[in-house]
Amino acid sequence: MAEKGTWLVKKGLAEMLKGGVIMDVTTPEQAKIAEEAGACAVMALERVPADIRAAGGVARMAEPTVILKIMEAVTIPVMAKVRIGHFVEAQILESLGVDYIDESEVLTPADENHHINKNAFKVPFVCGARNLGEALRRIGEGAAMIRTKGEPGTGNVVEAVRHMRMVMGEMRRLQNMPKEELMAAAKEMGAPYELVLQVAETGSLPVVNFAAGGIATPADAALMMQLGCDGIFVGSGIFKSNEPAARAKAIVAATTHYSDPGMLAEVSKNLGEAMPGVEIATISPEYRMQDRGW
């Protein structure tokens, strides 16, 4: 008997995306450019985060025809975003047949207290996290893949670095704790005890962990890989740059050869201007996307 939507099947797709780059796209043409550049998946959106940030107002799930056209345009997996807590948007995306749902802080949250019960779905979910507690809460709700939140749409990698170092550091800390301290650690970080025990034993998350939020150059991608993530999401970094196709291809190559400086130098040449960056301190707290969700 075939069993669909099992944990292994949900988590398994993320395992297959490892070492790859998932690119934000808003049109079938962009999706084809991404696939041609070697993206291992695309994220179908109405606007990239930098434009969402500029437009203001309420950002919602993309219109279904936008997503369907992108699904028709490429053979690689297609992901799409729903608002935090908006389980009906997730039901709609599942019925469209998207391959992964991102319950994302890039969109305006629909629920200030509760994230989606992702265990109720057959389609797998990826969620953002700033620290280990947040990552384990999302996994407890059924997320089969985690990514850093970073600060989306900024072209500034500093927040993604902060979040990745935080998660990695906290995992090392748990690994070195005597067992009797793990319950207090679970309480402090607000994480399910069983998952805390598991991390303390293995020293790694039970699911794949990508970097996202502010990655704009091949060097940014390689930095995140060297810090220990499994793969890269690039949002505005590609289609807000001067030469998207060349930059996309270079970021893919840098993610594969992340520990080879000679190769990184080679792929970083002649890419034109990166997207304009934003200094995080200039973003007032109410416009910081990473503080959405808990």
3-state secondary structure of 160: helix
Residue 168 sits in the site that holds another protein (CB under 8 A): no
Residue 281 sits in the site that holds another protein (CB under 8 A): no
Closest distance to another protein from the beta carbon of 4 (Å): 5
Q: Residues in the chain, how many?
A: 294
3-state secondary structure of 23: strand
Q: Of 31, 40, 219, 238, which lies in the binding site for another protein, with binding defined by CB under 8 A?
A: 40
* Site for another protein, residues 70 to 129, rule: CB under 8 A: 75-77, 94, 97-100, 122-124
Q: Which is nearer to another protein, 74 or 139 (CB)?
A: 74
User: DSSP string spanning 185-204?
Assistant: HHHHHT--HHHHHHHHHHSS
3-state secondary structure of 77: coil
User: CB of 273 within 8 A of CB of 39?
Assistant: no
What distance in Å separates the CA atoms of residue 171 and residue 151, rounded to the nearest whole number?
A: 22
Q: Which is nearer to another protein, 188 or 259 (CB)?
A: 259
* Phi and psi at residue 288, to the nearest 5°: -80, 115
The one catalytic residue among 10, 81, 118, 249: 81
Residue 175 sits in the site that holds another protein (CB under 8 A): no
Residues in contact with another protein, total (CB under 8 A)? 40
The catalytic residue positions are: 81
Which positions lie near another protein, rule CB under 8 A? 1-6, 8-9, 12-13, 15-20, 35-41, 75-77, 94, 97-100, 122-124, 252-253, 255-257, 260
